[in-house]
Structure 1
């Protein structure tokens, strides 16, 4: 029985079921052995079902096409591929190319040995009771038969997208925990091994090995087995003759670097760890099966081939050196603490240097080796590995936090099924990436600009991130491969985007590349980012120019880099309950992974700041790319689109959309950088192009957009419109989106609409996801695209997960294991950008409100100053004798005219008129004193005359 996605750690229901089963088996003598065995199996099944029923929402029934085990870079990728059940017991882990890797395991319970991983048929197979999958981890529960002991095997490839330093480490974890199921004590030992197939497919390659033990270096509490190819070929992948094309193609295996297999050794632990390095596989396994441990010795007959086969019988392996670890837990019981029945292992593929990169000037070409980012902090791989093993609790917590947030956000944006889609896509994204330490002059200048942060020192480390175009042709830093997984970058890792773009910008800025638009890639095959200095014409020029501009703008707009961080009370860093939704400022749901990089920097504002600084530095380059789009994109020549299998053709409307969006992106970039003239110019160009495009592209029956100009039967899945929705530019009217929403269901197949009417047997999963984000949640097309993706991810007939599929049957037909799976985050990416715009608008309103308040305050101050000034003037007038509102002062003019005194309140003149009189007096003298006063209508003789005039 295969229980999908059951919980790994048994809860109260499972333990109660096991106790009940144990009681029945020990107290009853009436049942014959067969009946007891049947009862035992039934109770175990009920217990596992109870565990499944109590699983959390993010642990629901879901087994994907391919189950990742250890995925940590271009050359470390182990999967369970093919077959519906995905059982770890009877399947060999495979590299993403579908070729097998040597990773096998045995479980020894009370002297009886069971095969728990890798199909070792010499021993009975353990029961693969459950599988659980998250964004970062795959866990299995395996038992003996009948079940008395469970082995929980958890494969964790940490996902820490805000912490790029941790994310770049070339190791993955395997955590093993034994548990007594029947309440009785049991002797338990666990064994696992790897072989030279982790280094190369070719069995004739010779291996050499060493061992690092805890005593060999101070502070390294681990046993580490290191194997490597004897003949190292830096920056070189292996090639083989392809049977289909009869061409020599890459095997995608690097002929450089070390394989590490290591186990953490906790000081004072009761768990005894032993090893074998270089002994034959059969001998090593049998030794463990007989004794439960290994001899902890190193076979000195090195080097030897990965496998040596019988010359007369090729199926018979005569010798196979393996690197094995065994863990003796001793006698475990339900009372045994977890640390007494657990083992932590790490597997990794380590290279230094990683990539060679083209720099220099048009006159002088210089190729430099780029070292891994971790080399900035750790003295060697052993030092790094010791820290990596000790960091497991933190890596596990960060990965669990990300997974819970991802599921909560995906459910809020779309559905639980959509959450499964993005979770299974996540590890594949990072498989293509390697972070490098930028030791160049540019890097030193940009230490505070383009940087990752060391978790040890807390200091910024100048960095770039290199990308391998997995499977399709192995290119380095392919622009049209970075663009599809933009949604993931915006949702989870905004600082990663400018670090991916920097190698492209820097190479283009050298002037060694002749064409104006950006290069399609930086090298024909990874890890050689040696550029295309001999190319006179770029591949996909409109695609890449439009992509580069839209990517730059998206990175700048993911947050406001100048905003003030929210206070600790306003900013919720982690959810109170993993099952609850994310709640941010003012009780609103916040979509997107929120985290600080070291030194308390919010990774969203850091990403936006880095992208804006990068755009300011490379502004002239961006402007050249926009000018190229102005010249070429409205009527594109005979060019290809991103997906080469459609072939080239003139006037492809998908390219026109990309060009229009690139031009609009340039206008917005100019606006953000204060280049107002460029902003207006490129805005005008993009609007004119848009108007012309709509006149020529809407079909005569007004049902859809044409795939090419003047071809009424053509159409495409217009995924490039996603940039319009993502960036909130509103270039295209809503009527276009309503039209497409009604059209796509009319051409859809079970696995979504074809990407192009010219080639109806191809669709792309990343573009299906992008297209889904063009429409609101209630629309028919959005539901159609998401359901197509979900159906594909449950298509168990595929051996490998690829992004190119047949829409009729859901077969994967190339483009395997590529990072474009990050495009499946399209709905989440749009939600994050919508949120960022809403935040920016609220901030603008707040600034406007603060501005109005400041203006009101300024006006108040001015009024107060005027009133004060007027009051001061009145005081001066009182001294001169005119402005008393009570009895006139002795000696005043009013008093001089009346022996009885005069109240100015009864005067025919108002205070303001008197003030005018004063102003006139300041222009000259009294003009004759009392005569002048009389001429102006005053009364010198007393109040009577004035009162009579007022009555009149």
Structure 2
């Protein structure tokens, strides 16, 4: 960003103060603005309160994304978006009156002279329409309303900078402007690097800024201060293009669009902008024989050009808004049946969770898109950038169960298909599909991060939960050998886990982990269900019997000597942890763990509750948002369940943090420990996932969006009866177990 603007941005934290506007439902650590994919991820940092024109929007890493906005009212200009410095022009700051977020929208109202300007950011979340969900664009909509009963001449302006297309501002970009039924700017790196990132920013593809070409629209490209001064002074742009292609930071090129709203006496028409980032191909994926397959974003199967895509996307704004509003209302209604705090909590998670995934298809030998070959890829944002990390998909799983379980299937397919080729050498489930997004290139050397019990248990649990939600047994039929292989590993190593890491790898490795062991045991029991569905009754009986025997022994190993709580690890009476993996027993309706264990844990957690929740375990004072929500789901009374949710709500709304919601924070003061913008916040839907599965621990259960499954090829809703019946079991052969040292 221009040095003067950067200086203004850097001074902002010191100026942050108590809110002077209404925040509904609360002021989050960071507002999602345009959050649609790992590379379209724009946020407004908050801290103790920052207006829309009090900071630059940022990529999730904290890098500035130049996104500026001005409104000209009766010849006077006001800044409403970003913190642009324009030394050659005079303007004022619009005054923010309110800010609100829902599951899909962030809406700000600012006063500028005699009008109130509503600025609405909509990042559609359309889980029932995979084509729409695959489109990497978001909306910003502007409308003006007279606030004094008088008429006012109004024009609005917005631009984006070249900062949207690279993680290195010293690199050269080029750009173009296209006019017709719509006007759009396109900007990209002059020298691109396919499948390559710098500071988590893809160095491939193009950024776009677009609007419909209606009466009164003008455009301009060029140096930030020059273009902005043109609008501030004249209320319109010059319809000129700067063709001096240069580095992002060389006179900061911006790409601007302005609209003359005419005379406003009531409420103006709505002006809509589309912002996005498109690349092709999107992912490289390893297939058989160590070959790499380029995969394309799903929307390309229906749109041949970005022009067509943008025209459809902008033309669909009103429809998209209606669908988004209905989605928001459904989520709020379902979550409010638990509590108002919970409704707020899940709303903040939606765009963040969906913003980490991309929907792809392959091409056949003739170059045609194969829409029957859908795969979804997830970036492990902010931790290490892996592709489809199993223990990141697992905590995210709840939101997909709630909205559309088919998305979960498409997330698992890359993992299943790769391991079915036999190229992964280990006997347990792989940890991830690739070390660096968007390279889903596998681990033929077997040197992925080793979490054998964790990932094998996760895969078995998620597969069965998908089957129960949809009645689709194709994953069992197609990958039974793999599922059985992972089960054999769990039989050998889950009751008494070796010294290994779990998903909470930041906490360190540990032998005999109580919570890890129960995940493996539930995984074995889940395989018993899947073996039965596959018609393998003898294997089903064997696995079911083993799991039952294991859980009895686990209970003895893991219960403290005073009988008050489960331990962090066996024979460590002074230790305890969040036993969030027990949630899977409830989700799958297995009734594997005795009720007394749930009751014991429910009685225990209030005794170790801190100001901002229950710590992850006795080794540290930090905790995880996803695991607390899963733990809340296994509580046997609403009081303790709501204790967890209220603490999480307090953490999110305390004004102490300014990054896209972190899932790892200190329970003592609510400060972020590390991580931000990660998709694991999908786990905040754990209570709704239980309700949708008909397996809530408490009595106030209702249905939700996921009472339907979606046929991705047609977009139609299909009624689903959950397949979760308890299957008959018979005795199995006795097993010999190792002695705990």
- Say yes or no: does 1:534 pair with 2:445: yes
Residue in structure 2 matched with residue 684 of structure 1 by the alignment: 545
Q: Give the whole-Å Cα distance in 1 for the aligned partners of 2:723 and 2:439.
A: 46
SS of corresponding position for 2:210 = strand
**Contact 2:24/2:99 (<8 A) preserved:** no
- What is the deviation of 1:614? 1.9
**Distance between the aligned counterparts of 2:368 and 2:644, measured in 1?**
46
Aligned twin of 1:625: 486
TM-score using structure 1 length? 0.69
Is it true that 1:435 corresponds to 2:368 in the alignment?
no
Given candidates 38, 41, 45, the residue that maps to 1:77 is 41
**Whole-Å separation in 2 of the counterparts to 1:78 and 1:728:** 39
State the Cα distance separating 1:114 from its structure 2 match.
Answer: 0.8
Which residue of structure 2 lines up, in the alignment, with residue 786 of structure 1? 645
User: Residue 777 of structure 1: CA displacement?
Assistant: 4.3
Alignment partners' CA distance in 1, 2:436 and 2:566: 37
Listed as ranges, the matches of 1:771-850 within 5 Å are 771-780=631-640, 782-800=641-659, 801-834=661-694
User: How far apart are residue 177 of structure 1 and its match?
Assistant: 0.8
Corresponding residue for residue 253 of structure 2: 321
- Cα distance in structure 2, aligned partners of 1:739 and 1:825: 24
Higher relative contact order (CA 8 A, sep 6+): 2
Partner in structure 2 of residue 481 of structure 1: 392
Q: 2 CA distance for matches of 1:98 and 1:796?
A: 17
**Aligned twin of 2:580:** 719
Report whether the alignment pairs 1:426 with 2:346: no
Matching residue within 258, 279, 303 for 1:351? 279
Query: 1 CA distance for matches of 2:361 and 2:724?
Result: 41
Structure-2 residue corresponding to 1:100: 64
Residue 514 of structure 1 corresponds to which residue in structure 2?
425
How many angstroms does 1:536 deviate by? Answer: 5.4
Contact 1:444 1:462 in 2 (8 A): no
CA shift, 1:61, in A, is: 3.6
Aligned to 2:739: none
1:156 equivalent in alignment to 2:122: yes
Contact 1:356 1:527 in 2 (8 A): yes
8 A Cα contact 1:98 1:799, kept in partner: no
TM-fit CA distance, 1:280: 0.9
Structure 1 Cα separation of the partners of residues 395 and 679 of structure 2: 8
Q: Equivalents in 2 of 1:351, 1:833: separation in Å?
A: 37
Q: Give, in whole Å, the separation in 2 of the partners of 1:539 and 1:168.
A: 32
Q: Secondary structure at the match of 1:472?
A: coil
The CA deviation string for residues 820-856 of structure 1, in whole angstroms up to 9 with x for no partner, is 001011111110011799999999999xxxxxxxxxx
Comparing 706-715 with 228-237, greater Cα deviation is found at 706-715
* 1:733 is the counterpart of 2:594: yes
Structure 2 matches for 1:565-644, cutoff 5 A? Answer: 609=472, 612-644=473-505
Q: Measure how far apart 1:477 and its partner are.
A: 0.7
- Per the TM alignment, residue 655 of structure 1 is displaced from its structure 2 partner at its CA by 1.4
2:94 alignment counterpart: 126
Largest Rg, 1 or 2:
1
Q: Does 1:194 align with 2:160?
A: yes
Q: 1:274 aligns with which of 215, 218, 222?
A: 218
CA contact (8 A) 2:72 2:235 kept: yes
Q: SS where residue 152 of structure 1 aligns?
A: strand
Indicate if the aligned counterparts of 1:174 and 1:346 stay in contact, CA closer than 8 A: yes
Counterpart residue number, 2:247: 305
Alpha-carbon distance between aligned partners in 1 of 2:237 and 2:724, rounded to the nearest angstrom: 69
The structure-2 alpha-carbon separation of the partners of 1:260 and 1:804, relative to structure 1 and needing over 3 Å to count, comes to same
Decide whether aligned partners of structure 1 residues 645 and 844 sit closer, same or farther in structure 2, where only a CA change above 3 A counts: closer
The C-alpha deviation readout for 1:690-713, integer Å capped at 9, x for no partner, is 111112111110001111111111
Contact 2:160 2:256 in 1 (8 A): yes
Unmatched 5+ residue regions in structure 1? 1-47, 53-58, 215-220, 239-250, 309-318, 448-459, 562-608, 847-952
Q: Distance in 1 between matches of 2:524 and 2:426?
A: 19
Deviation for aligned residue 1:535: 2.0
Counterpart selection for 1:494 from 405, 427, 439: 405
1:201 CA drift (Å): 3.4
Contact 2:346/2:685 (<8 A) preserved: yes
1:120 deviates by 2.9
Taking the aligned partners of 1:845 and 1:96, their CA distance within structure 2 comes to 39
| In 2, Cα distance between equivalents of 1:842 and 1:83 | 45
* Residue equivalent to 2:151: 185
2:347 aligned with 1:381: no
| Residue 252 (str. 1) matches residue 196 (str. 2) | no
Aligned to 1:365: 290
Partner SS for 2:593: coil
Bigger drift between 226-235 and 62-71 goes to 62-71
Residues 639-718 of structure 1: pairs in structure 2 closer than 5 A: 639-718=500-579
Q: Does structure 2 conserve the Cα–Cα contact (< 8 Å) formed by 1:157 and 1:427?
A: yes
For the aligned residue pairs, the C-alpha RMSD in angstroms reads: 2.3
Distance (Å, rounded) in 2 between the aligned partners of 1:537 and 1:83? 37
Q: Quick one: structure 1 residues 825 and 415, their matched pair in 2 at CA, closer, same or farther if it must change by over 3 Å?
A: same
Change (3 A) 1:508 1:816: same
The question of whether the paired residues in 1 share the 8 Å contact of 2:284 and 2:438 is answered with yes
Indicate which of 81, 87, 90 corresponds to 2:51.
87
Q: Give 1:812 shift.
A: 1.1
Q: Distance in 1 between matches of 2:217 and 2:225?
A: 20
- Whether the aligned pair in 1 keeps the contact of 2:666 and 2:672 (CA below 8 Å) is yes
Cα distance in 1 for partners of 2:723, 2:174 equals 63
> How far apart, in 2, do the equivalents of 1:844 and 1:263 lie?
47
Aligned mate of 2:210, from 252, 257, 262: 262
What is the match of residue 192 of structure 2? 232
Select which of 594, 600, 623 maps to 1:763.
623
Q: 2-side partners of 1:841 and 1:372: how far apart?
A: 28
Contact persistence 1:744–1:753 (CA under 8 A): yes
Superposition map of 1:889-904 within 5 A: none
Following superposition, the deviation at residue 779 of structure 1 comes to 3.7
More strand per residue: 2
CA distance in 1, matches of 2:720, 2:172: 63
Instruction: Write the distance in 1 (CA, Å) between the matches of 2:722 and 2:293.
Output: 45
- State the alpha-carbon separation in 1 of the partners of residues 680 and 722 from structure 2: 34
1:486 Cα deviation after fit: 1.3
Q: Check 1:259–1:626 CA distance in 2 against 1; reply closer, same or farther (3 A cut).
A: same
1 CA distance for matches of 2:393 and 2:448?
21
Residue 736 of structure 2 corresponds to: none
Q: Matched residues in 1 for 2:387 and 2:292: separation?
A: 15
Q: Cα distance 1:115–1:750, how it changes in 2: closer, same or farther (>3 A)? A: same
Q: Contact 1:104/1:118 (CA < 8 Å) preserved in 2? A: yes
Q: Counterpart of 1:77 in 2: which secondary structure?
A: strand
| Correspondence 1:283-294 to 2 at 5 A | 283-294=226-237
Contact 2:230 2:237 in 1 (8 A): yes
- Is the Cα contact below 8 Å between 1:376 and 1:461 reproduced in 2? no
Distance 1:121 1:207 in 2: 22
Displacement of 1:350: 0.5
Report the alpha carbon displacement of residue 253 of structure 1 after superposing the two structures with TM: 0.8
Cα 1:538/1:516, change in 2 over 3 Å? farther
Give the C-alpha shift of residue 649 in structure 1.
1.5
Who is 2:716 aligned against? none
What displacement does 1:675 show?
1.9
**1:142 has 2:84 as partner:** no
CA contact (8 A) 2:461 2:584 kept: yes
| Deviation at residue 297 of structure 1 after TM alignment | 1.6
- In structure 1, the residue matched to 2:713 is none
Q: Which runs of 4+ in 1 moved over 4 A?
A: 835-846
Q: Deviation string for 1:222-277 (max 9, x for gaps)?
A: 10100001110000011xxxxxxxxxxxx1111111000001224xxxx4111112
Q: Deviations over 1:66-119 (max 9, x none)?
A: 111110100111111133223002211111111211001111001111111112
Do the aligned partners of 2:586 and 2:695 also contact (CA within 8 Å) in 1?
Answer: no
How many residues align? The count is 681
Q: Could you say if the C-alpha distance between residues 365 and 775 of structure 1 is closer, same or farther in structure 2, counting changes exceeding 3 Å?
A: same
Aligned to 2:178: 212
Q: Is the 8 A contact 1:90 1:125 kept in 2?
A: no
